[in-house]
Amino acid sequence: MSDPRARPLQRIFKEVMLAQFLSVLIQVLVHKSHDLLQEEIGVAVYNMAAVDFDAFYANFLPHLLTTCEGLDDNQKAVLAANFKLEKVRGFASNNQTKREATCRHGSWKV
């Protein structure tokens, strides 16, 4: 049986904290401040975005790109183009498949 308190906590995370985590993790990838953790961060970003891909692409990503500091307009356009609109069709069965799904566009280069 699951903890009845889990649902409200999941809702709070999704509504309040998810965008902040995504923003920080994507900026870490863009600015290459934690290159050794690039794959793990990419998988985490993908999994967090998978919670609601529609909201990620329609709301979060455009907002992130307009507010992201340290990037010029061309770099922002490249980032926007490199994010492919994908929906989760089931969870990957191994880490290699997850990495391929997450890093299809390359190594987060701007």
| 1 falls within a domain | no
Angle between helices 38-49 and 18-31 in degrees, nearest 10:
150
| 15 falls within a domain | yes
Band the pLDDT of 79: cuts 50, 70, 90. Answer: confident
Tokens of 103: 């890093």
| 72 falls within a domain | yes
Band the pLDDT of 6: cuts 50, 70, 90. Answer: low
Find out whether 69 and 107 touch, Cβ atoms under 8 Å.
Answer: no
> Count of domains in the chain?
1
Query: What is the distance, to the nearest Å, from the Cα of residue 76 to the centroid of all Cα atoms in its chain?
Result: 15
Q: Residue 108: left if φ>0, alpha if ψ -120 to 50, beta else—which one?
A: left
Domain boundaries, position 29:
6-102
d(CA 20, CA 41): 14
In tens, the pLDDT along 41-55 reads 999 998 999 888 888
Predicted pLDDT at 3: 66
